[in-house]
Structure 1
Amino acid sequence: MTKRDWVMKSTIAVLLSTSLLMGGQVGQAAAKTQDSKQSDVVNIATSLIGKDYEYKAKGPKQFGSAELATYTYKQVGITIGSTISSLSKAGKKVSQDSVEPGDLVFFSSTGSGSASFMGIYIGNDQFVYSSQGEDAVVVKSYSEYSDKFVGARRILEETSSSDNSGDDTQQAPSDLANKVIKIGEKYMGTKYKYGSSSSSTKTFDCSSFTQRVFKEAGITLPRDSRQQSTVGTTVSKKNLQKGDLLFMKASANSSSDRITHVAIYAGNGKILHTYGSPGVTYSKYDGTNWEKRVVKVKRVL
């Protein structure tokens, strides 16, 4: 039996066991959008078993390690980072023994330090990952990799019934953009502090502000502005929409396009962001120095 034949036979077994696992929970899961998303992520991840490994490949036929997670979550409408480094900081940290289906799990060959490979936990003590060594997307026993475990992150937030009022309908991008702006406005005047903690709302720097606002709208962003500029879809400045993220260099005359600031386009020629003495504020955008500093626009809604 060839390696490819073995992988495909294993795929069938995993899909059957996973279907039984998730199916047995249907009665309890139906009331929560969270559990539906978990099921979707698990089903998509397992459907990719047997696909080829290729460094940094984004799919759908070949996948790098982080890109497998990026692709899987994109299929359920969730934009996440595309590197192991950014994903290891995304979402919410969970302990090794508290992982749930859909969680991202990270490993290193030594079991310490930075992660060198990662996968998606699918339940039943299994995770799916794109393996360089096996040249394919494979399924492995989670417990057998316990000595290599270095972290886990939960991207899927539990949905509160008080937030959705029983309505599981996905919000339109325009509605979500308005929600983002409304959330941002409640922090108007909050002081600026470089390096503010991502868990704090007493002060913000530019990227902790955007991360917080989008998190409250149900969208996970990496922590810093340069990491945030790697997610979502790149759009042109002339096609700006409310809710787009604007990434800026240090000054309009700078020869370097290194990103030093991020703001949210609020529509009507304004941006919502934080800096210096005003803290969280609106600023005029059209025709200003802010506009001239923009080097990238990303849409995550």
Structure 2
Amino acid sequence: MTKRDWVMKSTVAVILSTSLLMGGQVGQASAATTSYTQQTKEVATIAKSLLGKPYKYQASGPNQFGSANLATYVYKQVGVKIGSTLGSLYKAGTKVTKNSVKAGDLVFFSSNGSGSPTFMGIYIGNDQYVYSSQGDGKVVLKSFSDYSKKFVGARRILDESSSNSNSSNSSSKPATDIASQVIKHGEKYMGTPYKYGSSKDTTKTFDCSSFTQRVFKEVGITLPRDSRQQSTVGKTVSKKDLQVGDLIFMKASVNSSSDRITHVAIYAGNGKILHTYGSPGVTYSKFDGTNWEKRVVKIKRVI
């Protein structure tokens, strides 16, 4: 037996003995670490495999990707559900510092290096991150340190102390939590008067789109100012797939021959919408089977 073989055998013996003395805790910790490490490797590998794919605003893959949608797609491939917008992902998981980023973490940047993020990527280790770049027109690999002045935050989606299934469960919560926050923030404005063309800078009055813009802004999601612009962002969903927090866009009346959007509301669940109009101001209205439902032109999911 060579000296190297003897050292290896002795090391294994010590590890096994320690594991038995600790009731198998070493083995359990090792399994959890392996699961976390394996997931981060899978995330990095999948992200790198998408290099060169064309950039397209809010495209969700597999052949084209928006900035946030790239992360959504990659994590879905490893069984982890996360949001699909910059705002929701910037609140997902656990906050980590710039000096603590690890493979698999989501990294966020701003063009001017401060404020809310304007683009994001997936850190894959070795001072590199992958992101779908509008400027480059495709998914690219960049040096993380080269973008340090534009860095505004990082979030860890994967849980180092949990198994794969536990990570998936814990990471499926953010979108639902954010939707609940949207409704909670909206409810605090109940009864606030309606005013057409109300300023986006006031909470004393709202029109339908300044209300939705304000409520989503308070949970970190930026929307355009008017309802027609808001209808161009997010993912289109059908009425049968409605979820709390979805934006519902409507035309002027049931009998209108034009599908021109004139109103927006937030789906609040249980067949109700939260919105503002006319004399009630911010209020809940029944949606299912009503004229509100019959006026629907489009439904978008931005969470």
TM-score, normalised via structure 1 length: 0.53
What one-letter code is carried by the residue in structure 2 that aligns with 1:53? K
Of stretches 58-67 and 287-296 in structure 1, the one that deviates more from structure 2 is 58-67
Say whether residues 1:54 and 2:61 are aligned partners.
no
Distance (whole Å) between structure 1 residues aligned to residue 292 and residue 128 of structure 2: 48
Given candidates 118, 129, 132, the residue that maps to 2:131 is 129
Q: Where does residue 262 of structure 1 map in the other structure?
A: 265
> Kindly tell me: are residues 55 and 137 of structure 1, through their superposed partners in 2, closer, same or farther at Cα, counting changes over 3 Å?
closer
Letter in 2 for 1:257: R
Structure 1 residue 230: deviation in Å? 3.2
Confirm or deny: 8 A CA contact 2:250 2:298 kept in the other structure. no
Q: CA RMSD in A?
A: 5.6
Give the CA deviation at 1:133.
Answer: 9.3
SS in 2 for 1:49: helix
SS of equivalent to 1:183 = helix
Identity %: 39
TM-score w.r.t. the length of structure 2 is 0.53
Seen in structure 2, the aligned counterparts of structure 1 residues 99 and 291 have a Cα distance that, compared at 3 Å, is farther
Q: d(CA) in 1 for partners of 2:42 and 2:109? A: 20
- The match for 1:80 is 84
Counterpart of 2:10? none
| Closer, same or farther: CA 169–60 of 1 in aligned 2, 3 Å | closer
Give the alignment partner of residue 207 of structure 1, picking from 206, 212, 237. Answer: 212
Structure 1 counterpart of 2:19: none
**2:250 & 2:153 partners in 1: Cα distance?**
30
Q: Does 1:144 align with 2:146?
A: yes
Q: Which has the larger radius of gyration?
A: 2
Q: Give unpaired runs (5+ residues) of structure 2.
A: 1-28, 160-166
Is contact 1:88-1:106 (8 Å) kept? no
Following superposition, the deviation at residue 296 of structure 1 comes to: 1.4
Partner residue, 1:247: 248
* Pairwise CA distance, 1:67: 4.1
Q: Which moved further from structure 2: 64-73 or 131-140?
A: 131-140
CA distance in 2, matches of 1:245, 1:232: 10
1:133-282 matches, cutoff 5 A: 137-146=139-148, 149=150, 152=152, 169-170=169-170, 179=180, 183=184, 186-187=187-188, 189=190, 191=192, 194-196=198-200, 205-208=210-213, 210-211=215-216, 215=219, 221-224=221-224, 226-227=229-230, 230-232=233-235, 234-235=237-238, 237=239, 239=240, 241=242, 243=244, 245-249=246-250, 251-252=252-253, 253=256, 255-258=258-261, 260-268=263-271, 270-275=272-277, 277-282=279-284
What amino acid is the match of 1:245?
D
Shift of 1:129: 2.3
8 Å Cα contact 2:123-2:130 kept in structure 1? yes
The DSSP-based 3-state class of the residue aligned with 1:48 is helix
Contact 2:251 2:296 in 1 (8 A): no
Residues 178-228 of structure 1 show CA distances to partners (whole Å, capped at 9, x for unaligned) of 95697368526252574546xx98876431465268x4xxxx644345447
* 1:274 CA displacement: 3.4
Residue 298 of structure 2 is aligned to residue 296 of structure 1: yes
| Change in CA separation of 1:98 and 1:282 when aligned onto 2, cut-off 3 Å | farther
How many Å apart are 1:282 and its aligned residue?
Answer: 1.0
